[in-house]
């Protein structure tokens, strides 16, 4: 049997397959699945309808295996941005899924397999209970979209691709420090109990870097412990956590400004990213 979390080797803070599923409610189950060495793709299941969405199914064969194991009907494909390690499995997934031709594939305009282009604040639903809102967060790529999900009980999650990581952010491949500052500020307006589902398992390196920037921050130490105890940190932080331990969302803090030698938010962001690139 294929286990979405069979790769966990350390003592996790939550059980395998996370009944809180990763899980943001008993009606919305979220299963992280590893692709390549550190990419996260996801299967999101609406238990009320048995309908599901897949997020960034790069390893399409592995994702189809999980879909078959769970016995769900995929109606939605979500792509966070066009980079191949996120979108590269879209066409194969759609071609090999029995109902692939009828699956709604949501993304920015540059992702392969897209049949429904979304822009900032566009909304759609799948299943009976899951509402989705697109949040345009250009910088890592100009078509980066974060997808905010909420079920009928008000439980929340956001798929952040390579924009926001646990304790970090993506490189500015197609954007500027100002754009990343705006993107993270935008994500920071989400309800604080929103669970973060990131695109890569970069938490150990992010925690190590954050400890250099804010060595006295107890929350950063908590992030380091989270990374130490879990091979998969996807779904183990909230927007509230990120505001406390993610240095890229703490540009006004004295320790962050001291480390970068700047006080203006955009300048701090740019210097911080350069420091992380060299770390």
Residues 146/150/12/34 CA torsion (nearest 10 deg): -40
The C-alpha atoms of residue 182 and residue 174 are separated, in whole angstroms, by 14
State how far the alpha carbon of 84 is from the alpha carbons of 5, 59, 159, 202, in Å: 23, 11, 17, 18
Q: Residue 52 belongs to what H/E stretch?
A: strand 51-55
Q: Domains in the chain, start-ordered, CATH in brackets?
A: 28-201 (3.60.15.10)
Q: What is the pLDDT along the chain (279 residues), one digit of tens a residue?
A: 333 443 344 533 333 334 334 444 458 999 999 999 999 999 999 999 999 999 999 999 999 999 999 999 999 999 999 999 999 999 999 999 999 999 999 999 889 999 999 999 999 999 998 999 999 999 999 999 999 999 988 889 999 999 999 999 999 999 999 999 999 999 999 999 999 999 999 999 999 999 999 999 999 999 999 999 999 999 999 999 999 999 999 999 999 999 999 999 999 999 999 999 999
Task: Please give the Cα distance from 30 to 45 (Å, whole number).
Answer: 6
Considering 59, 162, 219, 241, which one is annotated as catalytic? 162
192: number of Cβ within 10 Å: 13
> Which is it for the CA torsion 251, 253, 255, 258, positive or negative?
positive
Assess whether 200 carries a catalytic annotation.
yes
Instruction: Please pick, among 46, 56, 85, 219, the residue that the annotation labels catalytic.
Output: 85
Catalytic residue status for 181: no
Q: What is the Cα–Cα distance from 87 to 71, expressed in whole angstroms?
A: 23
Check if 85 is active-site.
Answer: yes
Q: Which of 31, 82, 97, 200 is flagged as catalytic?
A: 200
Report the distance separating Cα 62 and Cα 161, nearest Å: 19
Distance CA 34, CA 93 (A): 16
Q: Count how many residues are written for the chain.
A: 279
Would you state the pLDDT for residue 17?
A: 38
136 is catalytic: no
The catalytic position among 83, 143, 181, 241 is 83
| The two structure tokens encoding residue 91 | 């066409």
Query: Does the annotation mark 219 as catalytic?
Result: no
Left (φ > 0), alpha (ψ -120 to 50) or beta: where does 25 sit? beta
Checking 91-100 for CB contacts under 8 A at 24+ apart, the result is 92/60, 92/61, 93/54, 93/57, 93/60, 93/63, 93/64, 96/60, 96/61, 96/64, 97/64, 97/67, 99/73, 99/74, 99/75
Catalytic, out of 31, 46, 56, 81: 81
81 is catalytic: yes
Q: Is-catalytic flag, 31? A: no
Does this model's pTM top 0.85? My answer is yes
Active-site residue among 31, 86, 97, 181? 86
| pLDDT (0 to 100) of residue 25 | 43
What is the structure's pLDDT at 26?
55
Question: Strand, coil or helix: what is 124?
Answer: strand
């Amino acid at each position: 049997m294929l286990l979405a979390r069979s790769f966990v080797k350390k003592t996790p803070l939550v059980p395998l397959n996370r009944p809180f599923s990763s899980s943001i409610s008993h009606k919305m189950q979220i299963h992280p699945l590893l692709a390549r060495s550190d990419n996260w793709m996801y299967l999101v299941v609406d238990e009320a309808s048995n309908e599901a969405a897949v997020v960034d199914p790069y390893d399409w064969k592995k994702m189809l295996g999980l879909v078959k194991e769970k016995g769900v009907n995929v109606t939605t494909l979500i792509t966070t941005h066009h980079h191949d390690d996120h979108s590269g499995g879209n066409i194969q997934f759609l071609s090999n899924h029995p109902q692939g031709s009828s699956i709604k594939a949501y993304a920015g305009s540059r992702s392969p397999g897209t049949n429904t282009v979304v822009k900032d604040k566009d909304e759609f639903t799948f299943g009976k209970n899951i509402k989705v809102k697109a949040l345009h967060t250009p910088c890592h790529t100009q078509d980066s979209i974060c997808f905010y999900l909420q079920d009928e009980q008000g439980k929340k999650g956001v798929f952040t691709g390579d924009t926001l990581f646990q304790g970090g952010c993506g490189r500015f491949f197609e954007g500027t420090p100002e754009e990343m500052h705006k993107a993270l500020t935008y994500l920071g307006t989400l309800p604080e109990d929103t669970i973060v589902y990131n695109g890569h398992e970069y938490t150990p390196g992010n925690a190590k870097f954050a400890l250099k920037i804010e060595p006295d921050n107890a929350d950063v130490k908590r992030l380091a412990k989270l990374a130490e105890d879990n091979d998969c940190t996807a779904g183990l932080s909230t927007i509230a956590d990120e505001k406390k331990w993610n240095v890229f969302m703490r540009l006004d803090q004295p320790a962050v400004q001291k480390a970068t030698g700047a006080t203006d938010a955009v300048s701090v962001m740019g210097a911080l990213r350069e420091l992380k690139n060299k770390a």
